[in-house]
Amino acid sequence: MSVLLNFIIGFLAAFVGVIPPGLLNMSAAKISMKEGRKKGVLFSIGVCVTVCIQTYVALLFARLLDRHPEYVDRLQEVALGIFICITLYFFLIAKDTRRPVPEGFQRSKTNRFFNGMFLGALNLLPLPYWVYISITFAGFGWFTFQQPALWATVLASGIGTFAMLILYVQFFRKKEDQSRLGVNMNYIIGAITAIISVITAFKIFG
């Protein structure tokens, strides 16, 4: 059961984490539009390999923190403030994601798989993200750092990331597909971070 819970949490956390338009998902979309879906998928696979490595490193660090509850409590207080700020940002400040994908994307001769790994390595957000997610759910007894459950999370993080990147590749493959995305995704991620903030507050003050 612990393996299944870790996998579900890993998949959902990774899937949600890639929802907001950013360097990785928009690059996958642009590559798909300009060079074809195959290149977009290859790029996405490269990103997922890096994400799996980052997830593993983050979980090892989180396991160390989990053995020292005094640090975990302070970390959760800081995380609560961060997620509240992120929620306010996505609801009030962030630009509407329904705007068109910018023109001027330059075709690169770089192997798209390694290009995806490289850009994934530049994105360091998964490290603190997975530390927070794993420690928070471990506090509720829903997550374990034991093997093989930990590896299930690592695998799920790659699959979840890949699933969301493929959605970007699919929906933005042609310019006319942009009209299908009629929802401002900033509101979606803002709602998600608001829920996480409530869960964190319940854990701290409950």
C-alpha–C-alpha distance, residues 16 and 164, integer Å: 8
Residues 6+ apart with CB under 8 A from 194: 87
Q: What is the mean pLDDT of residues 159-187?
A: 70
pLDDT-derived band at 85 (thresholds 50, 70, 90) equals confident
pLDDT of residue 132: 82
Both tokens of residue 182?
């009629």
pLDDT-derived band at 14 (thresholds 50, 70, 90) equals very high
C-alpha–C-alpha distance, residues 100 and 176, integer Å: 10
Q: Which of these, 48, 8, 9, lies nearest to 25 by C-alpha position?
A: 48
- Each domain of the chain, given as residue ranges in start order, spans 2-101+110-205
pLDDT of residue 176: 44
Mean pLDDT in the chain? 79
Q: What is the mean pLDDT of residues 152-180?
A: 80
In a 13 Å sphere around the CA of 114, the CA atoms on its Cβ side amount to 4
Residue with more model confidence, 168 or 144 = 144
pLDDT of residue 116: 92
